[in-house]
Structure 1
Amino acid sequence: MTETRNDRTSGIWTLRPLPEMDEAQFRQWQELLEDRTGITLKAERRSFLQTNLGIRMREIGCDTYQAYYEKVVSGPGAIVEWATLVDRLTVQETRFFRDPDAYRLVSDYIMTRPREQLSRQPIEAWSVGCSTGEEPYTLAMLLDQSMRQLELKSLFGVTGSDISKPALEKAQRGLYGARKLVSTDADTRDQYFQASGGNEWEIDPALRQRVCFTQLNVLDLEQAPMHGMNIIFCQNLLIYFRQWRRREIVKRLTERLAPGGLLVLGQGELTDWHHPSLQRVPSDSVLAWIKRQTDEE
């Protein structure tokens, strides 16, 4: 792994090697990341960690992994630096309408709810690990479209939560490049986005008002203020955790689901798991459950 620098004496661009991360250093960072976020970094991800640490170390002029570790753990501004690093290590590539089958299930769920319930009680949806906001905004579009088809007033709200503050700040701005909309059909784009300069698209203000964002570490779900959610959408998040922690996270999410509510996970993220208050949705393409009306938790 190398970085480019300008040799001032010769005017020639040369390569300066960055430090290699040994096994002990990797384990130290592994333990810190898992202890604070629950995220498990497997051995084959060492180069990913080394690359991202190296970039940040260059930015702030830090020469060794140990020095940077001490800065993150106990140095001046450690809290801010840790937040910056977490953002680098956790924000993943996403887009609107990323999983068509899962979103189709959400639409079907709304369309089959009792009309009298939908007409008097707002639908509350929660996107867990929402990154830069594509998922919660997609849920808001689906809910709005479904209520319009049912000719009912759009009574709903969507909450997006994530550990990364910079990601949430971008989500709140609601401004996205065109490639984030590659899975969005033209009619939906024209209805819920406004063209902006530089080949960017802005979420329509009326829809943006339906979505709020909050910083939340999934290890702290017991303190989460969300309760009685009708839809909880949690995809491409659990893959970063150990199996026992995945089960614990989903158990906590189940506690915050309203009777009759829908819980959607990513395919393959949870195996051989059962909960007495959940009924599996029969589907070969989506991993989802409905919470039983008679809760025995």
Structure 2
Amino acid sequence: MQKTPNWSLQQLPEMDMQQLHQWQALLEARTGVCVTDQRRMFLQTSLATRMRELQVEDYQSYYEYVTEGPTGAIEWSALIDRLAIRETSFMRHRPSFDAVHNHIETILAKGRSTQPLQLWSLGCASGEEAYSLAMITDQCLADSASRSPGYAIWATDISLKALEQARLARYPASRLGGLTDTEHARWMRPVDHGKLEILPVLRDRICFTRLNILEMAQAPIRDLDIIFCQNLLIYFRRWRRRDLLNLLAKKLAPGGMLIIGLGEIVDWNNPLLERVPDERVQAYVRRDTHGSLE
């Protein structure tokens, strides 16, 4: 790998179309993410930032580095941390979390009292989504007149750096997003440098784990009551979105709910699922084995 000691961002090399397509193909093959030509500058800047740290002077040398041998595999993981998009906040798109709240209440009203609720935050980034789900679930269980069955949340992402931030569970006030004052006061406490920390009562319910979505079929996660997958599918081709959603449908328990981003896919349906009749959200409930809603 060729290095240039004085190379800097001010001398940013231009990525030609052949190099762009080479990197696009590699990213899609390994992660499923489709980087469009319109996002060429995002890709170029992300690569160049990492190349500057390594003092690599051209895209081809870096491409060969990340695609060869064990050191390339380690470097690929570091690069993914730069390319992963982590624009998120607590209770982002509140209607979707309201749908989760209503669905959990429905489950509890039917007498669920022994088996813990199982939720999955898919593409959890730095954890705000997973903790938001924990807040909603914890509140539902506290308000329920029936015996609490407890709950557990799987939270997965491809970025190890994002998962480290999620496990730390400390956030600036600017990330509180859609939290109400009551939610903020109940589940967070102030810590150093003006940040807020999620309380252990929620942190202990979440398992943060690295997962490449292309390997989802092998993930030992199934019989889920809630699958929350928002602002992730938009980075994939339409055919892959359908394939991934069909896999997610199979991982739901009868009566379980799948929530995706509104408008992330408009021409998909699955015989296992029925669309929730609410124009504010895009959510589906899995039918039971006899074809009716549980």
Tell me, yes or no, if the aligned pair for 1:233 and 1:264 is still in contact at 8 Å. Answer: yes
Q: CA deviation at 1:80?
A: 1.5
Partner of 1:52: 46
Query: Which of 202, 206, 210 is the matching residue for 1:207?
Result: 202
Instruction: Mark the runs of 5 or more structure 2 residues left unpaired by the alignment.
Output: none
Partner of 2:241: 246
Which stretch shows the higher mean deviation, 77-86 or 28-37?
Answer: 77-86
Equivalent position amino acid for 1:92 in 2: R
Tell me, yes or no, if the aligned pair for 2:108 and 2:144 is still in contact at 8 Å. Answer: no
User: What SS does the corresponding residue of 2:100 show, helix, strand or coil?
Assistant: helix
Tell me, yes or no, if the aligned pair for 1:144 and 1:154 is still in contact at 8 Å. Answer: no
Query: Which of 246, 262, 276 is the matching residue for 1:281?
Result: 276
Using a 3 Å threshold, how does the CA distance of structure 1 residues 295 and 246 change in structure 2: closer, same or farther? Answer: farther
How large is the RMSD of aligned CA atoms in angstroms? 1.8
Select the structure that is richer in strand. Answer: 1
User: What SS does the corresponding residue of 2:121 show, helix, strand or coil?
Assistant: strand
Tell me, yes or no, if the aligned pair for 1:148 and 1:154 is still in contact at 8 Å. Answer: no
Which structure 2 residues correspond to residues 120-139 of structure 1 after superposition, within 5 A? 120-139=114-133
Number of positions where the alignment pairs a residue of Structure 1 with one of Structure 2: 286
Query: TM-score, normalization: structure 1?
Result: 0.92
Query: Which of 113, 116, 129 is the matching residue for 1:119?
Result: 113
Give % identity: 45
Query: Which of 11, 15, 26 is the matching residue for 2:20?
Result: 26
| Residue 102 of structure 2 corresponds to residue 105 of structure 1 | no
C-alpha separation in 2, matches of 1:154 and 1:144: 11
Partner of 2:71: 77
Partner of 1:185: 180
C-alpha distance after superposition, 1:15-55 (max 9, x if no partner): 84211000000000000000000100100010110111111
Instruction: Mark the runs of 5 or more structure 1 residues left unpaired by the alignment.
Output: 7-13
Equivalent position amino acid for 2:92 in 1: R
Equivalent position amino acid for 1:178 in 2: A
Tell me, yes or no, if the aligned pair for 1:279 and 1:289 is still in contact at 8 Å. Answer: yes
Partner of 1:96: 90
Partner of 1:11: none
Using a 3 Å threshold, how does the CA distance of structure 1 residues 172 and 295 change in structure 2: closer, same or farther? Answer: farther
User: What SS does the corresponding residue of 2:279 show, helix, strand or coil?
Assistant: coil
User: What SS does the corresponding residue of 2:73 show, helix, strand or coil?
Assistant: helix
C-alpha separation in 1, matches of 2:149 and 2:81: 34
Query: Which of 251, 258, 261 is the matching residue for 2:256?
Result: 261
Partner of 2:227: 232
Equivalent position amino acid for 1:187 in 2: T
Query: TM-score, normalization: structure 2?
Result: 0.93
C-alpha separation in 2, matches of 1:75 and 1:243: 32
Which stretch shows the higher mean deviation, 66-75 or 152-161?
Answer: 152-161
Partner of 1:61: 55
Partner of 1:17: 11
| Residue 168 of structure 2 corresponds to residue 173 of structure 1 | yes
User: What SS does the corresponding residue of 2:111 show, helix, strand or coil?
Assistant: helix
Q: CA deviation at 1:113?
A: 2.0
C-alpha separation in 1, matches of 2:284 and 2:177: 29
Q: CA deviation at 1:114?
A: 4.5
C-alpha separation in 1, matches of 2:112 and 2:174: 34
Using a 3 Å threshold, how does the CA distance of structure 1 residues 22 and 253 change in structure 2: closer, same or farther? Answer: same
Equivalent position amino acid for 1:279 in 2: E
